Structure 1
Amino acid sequence: MLSEKSAETVRATLPAVGAAVGDIAELFYTKLFAAHPELLRDLFNRGNQAAGVQKQALAGSIAAFAGHLLAHPGTRPDAMLSRIAHKHASLGVTREQYPVVHKHLFEAIAEILGDAVTPEVAEAWDEVYWLMANALCAIEERLYAEQQVAAGDVWRPWQVTARIEETADCTTFHLAPADGSPVPAAKPGQYVSVQVELPDGARQIRQYSLTGAPGSPTRAITVKRIRGAAAAGPDGEVSNHLHDRVTVGDVLRVSPPYGDLVLQDSDAPVLLASAGIGCTPMLSMLEHLAESGRTAPVIVLHADRSPADHALRSDHRALALKLTDATARFWYEAGAEPGDAEGRMDLADVEVAPGTTAYLCGPLPFMRAVREQLLAKGVPAADIHYEVFGPDMWLASA
């Protein structure tokens, strides 16, 4: 809980901090990487840094956390904290790194805001930071304990046992523990972090959803090659490395499974809506539903550029057909086949049963559009869950 004195100061200064938080984040990362270049080389996503999206996500999360403390005293934005903590745990972030972030963040705040940062203002925002940091540390340490690993010690060697070219841009890698260790338990919808050593010596990390059954003795990830564009950022360093250099027999460093977009065990109807490579966590959920003999209604929806671009298309449809009460509908911008629809996903004639729990994964504009349609159909906001690949920009751009 934010103290009453700090709450007053934060409320008075939040507009100024919020207006400058983008500049603060920019300077913060400049200072952080100048002092600790190994963090950019081996922890932070260099592609996201180059595109600026990580800075926007940091700005959004800090402003959202402070705003929540003011609007809902005595509570925490647990959904946001959980999503960040799962990502941090998959990267091996530890409690010892938070003072490093604090030092450079508050130097940036003081430099950007100048004389406006009085001792009282600094003390209030210091309290906000440590409330957020300590909450994240507690969640992260619990996540490490659940996976029976020491804090930050997440990396294990996994060998590529098969490689399947799904589409021109998507490849599935089947993995098994290279050291013979047990496969850690996974929940349907979770992801793993994969760390690769690039030609320049950097060890970059990316997250990929597990596509196989959660109880499988092996793991499978489907990786989309990220092709850069001037407006969208550079080529994906790790995705291109995996596509171009990794083959059967190679060993990757892989984390235990994390992620809070997890299929809930209940008898409620389920709706799974995805676009592009966002289908991957849905495949894991469908595998679980099929294995558990799900009888409640399941609606499977997917949008893509074309059938040829739809990774795991046959598996996507086949798993839906295994269920006793499921419908699958696919939308394609071009090349739609009989039974499929053309254009963007439109839920106008999709019947959504009362009590449905929805799971969304795909580009942010897609998820926003689908969420609005589900809300209009009476699905409560609390029953609509989502996953963002990369920094979570939902809060930052809300």
Structure 2
Amino acid sequence: MLNDKTIQIIKSTVPVLEIHGTAITKRFYELLFSNYPELLNLFNHANQRQGKQQTALANAVYAAALHIDKLEMILPAVKQIAQKHRSLGVKPEQYPIVGQMLLKAIKEVLGDAATDEILGAWADAYGVIAGVFIEVEAGMYQAAEQQEGGWADYRAFRVERKIVESEVITSFYLVPQDGGAIATFEPGQYVSVKLDIPGEANTHIRQYSLSDAPGKPYYRISVKREDTLQNRPAGKISVYLHEQIGEGDVLHLSAPAGAFTLDQQDERPLVLLSGGVGLTPMVSMLKTIVTANPKRRVIFIHAAQNGDVHAMKQQVDALASLHPQVSNYVVYDKPTMNDRSLQAFDKEGYIDLPWLKKVIPTTNAAFYFCGPVPFMRMMNSTLKEFGVDAADIHYEFFGPAGSLEAETEAQPQR
């Protein structure tokens, strides 16, 4: 445990971290990768280039400093990060390296303001925080390996089927190459996929939500192809999966992980809101709940540009037709002529509060949403304005955790 003096010193640095946190974490990653280039195999290089990882770490460090006297306050965030670490294969021996580089970054960025006393306090605090992560992750590693059908690290899976779901999303049905059983998972969880791409110096690891219900002899991931956009390069991994990985090829997967999971004990109505490829964990939740609790009311709302890029629509429509307790709504902001002729959508434009009030009969429900960050910011602010209790709002970031409060929430784009 930390003594009172150390706690006070750490708390005194909170205003500094609020200002210089991202500069510190940016320098931290530069030092980490220049001194330990092998760790590049664990990180998403695109998130590094876009600054997402630096911002996420800065937010985590700031939260740890703010709650250093009550670390239980950040335990949910610790468990979420630990799930990602377990799926990536982060090891206990890597924590001292991280601590050393973090302290060096603090000193370089803050200069003389980072006194020996402050650095000593942060060294002590980091030791305590790292210990929490190591302990939590040890339990997760053990559970992942010892569960029925479980395994440690990565396991080879063969692509049994490759199905085009839309112009931009393709599903991969994956079965274990060794023919053994596979671990179950909670709807909403993901697997890490590790790829060694010819010509690439480093291994690439990406997380993809499991898009089918548990209990099948396969895992299904549904991958959106991220092509070049303005100010953003193409998604190297998604393009490789779409273009180079076919039926019969082998991918290496971690055991399922993730803290964004469906509470199946809740009997209240379930509202599932998704934008774009954010529907993947929602489809898993929908497929699970109609079997596990067929009496539970479900409202499934998906937003996409149009029917050309709307994946798994027929699957969701079929479930809704078979299960009268499921209400299914589609929102397109740029519907095609074909969408209009088929009457394939329920609302043109964006999901807004007046429309939500028409299709959702009560705020006493469980709300789950996932999609691009602007979409999630809009859903978060809209649900709050609707009067939904914060405890009933659940969401998942694809990539490093961010803040839904960080930017103006009046941008309804996807």
Name the TM-score, length of structure 2 as normaliser.
0.90
Pairing 1:132–2:129 present? yes
The equivalent position to 1:106 in structure 2, one of 100, 103, 107, is 103
1:376 to 372, 385, 398: 385
Higher relative contact order (CA 8 A, sep 6+): 1
Partner residue in 1 for 2:62: 63
Q: Distance in 1 between matches of 2:253 and 2:324?
A: 35
What is the match of residue 359 of structure 2? 350
Given that residues 69 and 76 in structure 1 are in contact (C-alpha distance below 8 angstroms), is that contact kept between their aligned partners in structure 2? no
Aligned Cα root-mean-square deviation (Å):
2.0
* Selected match of 1:148 from 142, 145, 148: 145
1:7 Cα deviation from its structure 2 partner: 2.3
Cα shift at 1:152: 10
1:53 is displaced (CA, Å) by 1.2
Q: Is the 8 A contact 2:226 2:238 kept in 1?
A: yes
- CA deviations on 1:188-228 (whole Å, 9 max, x unpaired) are 11110001111224210001111111111111110011123
Q: Any idea what the Cα deviations from partners look like across 1:281-310, whole Å, max 9, x if unmatched?
A: 011101101222421211111111111111
Whether 1:391 and 2:391 are equivalent positions in the alignment is: no
In the superposition, relative to structure 1, how do residues 346 and 355 fare at CA in structure 2: closer, same or farther (>3 Å)? same
Q: 1:66 to 1:240 in 2, by over 3 A?
A: same
Secondary structure at the residue paired with 1:206? Answer: strand
Counterpart code for 1:87: K
Q: Which residue in the other structure is 2:412 paired with?
A: none
Contact 1:358 1:383 in 2 (8 A): yes
Closer, same or farther: CA 352–378 of 1 in aligned 2, 3 Å: farther
Q: For 2:93, which of 96, 110, 120 is the aligned residue? A: 96
Match of 1:234 in 2: 233
Residues 62 and 187 of structure 1: is their aligned pair in 2 closer, same or farther, counting only changes over 3 Å? same
User: SS in structure 2 opposite 1:256?
Assistant: coil
Please, which of 97, 100, 115 is the counterpart of residue 118 of structure 1? 115
Unaligned runs of 5+ in 2: 408-414
Gaps of 5+ in 1: none
d(CA) in 2 for partners of 1:295, 1:27: 53
Q: Distance in 2 between matches of 1:227 and 1:281?
A: 22
Judging changes above 3 Å, is the alpha-carbon distance between structure 1 residues 198 and 396 closer, same or farther for their aligned structure 2 residues? farther
Task: Check conservation: 1:10, 1:124, Cα contact below 8 A.
Answer: yes
Which amino acid counterpart does residue 94 of structure 1 have in structure 2? K
Q: Where does 1:1-398 land on structure 2 (aligned, <5 Å)?
A: 2-40=2-40, 42-69=41-68, 73=70, 75-148=72-145, 153-201=152-200, 202-231=202-231, 233-266=232-265, 267-335=267-335, 337=340, 338=343, 339-348=345-354, 349-394=358-403, 397=406
Q: How many angstroms apart in 1 are the aligned matches of 2:79 and 2:72?
A: 14
Is residue 61–residue 395 contact of structure 1 (8 Å, CA) maintained in 2? no
* Sequence identity (%): 38
> Separation in 2 of the partners of 1:11 and 1:395?
24
Distance 1:184 1:235, change over 3 A: same
- Post-superposition offset of 1:259: 0.7
Deviation of 1:397 (Å): 3.3
Shift of 1:278: 0.2
Q: Which amino acid aligns with 2:297?
A: P
Q: Distance in 2 between matches of 1:191 and 1:208?
A: 5
Q: For 1:153 and 1:292, how far apart are their aligned partners in 2?
A: 29
Q: 1 CA distance for matches of 2:124 and 2:151?
A: 25
Shift in Å, 1:238: 1.1
Post-superposition CA distance 1:235-277 (Å, at most 9, x none): 1121111011000110100111001111112212111111000
In structure 2, distance between residues paired with 1:395 and 1:121: 31
Tell me how far apart the structure 1 counterparts of residues 28 and 76 of structure 2 sit (CA, whole Å): 25
The structure-2 alpha-carbon separation of the partners of 1:104 and 1:297, relative to structure 1 and needing over 3 Å to count, comes to: same
Report the AA paired with residue 141 of structure 2. Y
Kindly provide the amino acid, as one letter, of the partner of residue 306 in structure 1. Answer: N
Cα deviations across residues 26-50 of structure 1 (Å, max 9, x unaligned)?
111111111111211x211111112
Superposed displacement of residue 135, structure 1: 1.8
How far off its partner does 1:354 sit?
Answer: 4.4
Q: How far apart are 1:234 and its partner, in Å?
A: 2.1
SS in 2 for 1:75: helix
State the TM-score, normalized to the length of structure 1: 0.94
Look up the SS of the partner of 1:360 in the other structure.
strand
| Contact residue 144 and residue 151 of structure 2 kept, 8 A | no
SS in 1 for 2:186: coil
Secondary structure at the residue paired with 1:222?
strand
Per-residue CA shift, 1:67-90, capped at 9, x if unaligned?
2335xx363312211211111111
Secondary structure in 1 matching 2:173? strand
Moved more, 217-226 or 313-322: 313-322
Q: CA deviation at 1:54?
A: 1.0
Q: How far apart in 2 are the matches of 1:66 and 1:311?
A: 42
C-alpha separation between the residues in 1 aligned to 2:55 and 2:9? 24
Alignment check: 8 A CA contact 1:61 1:396 kept: no
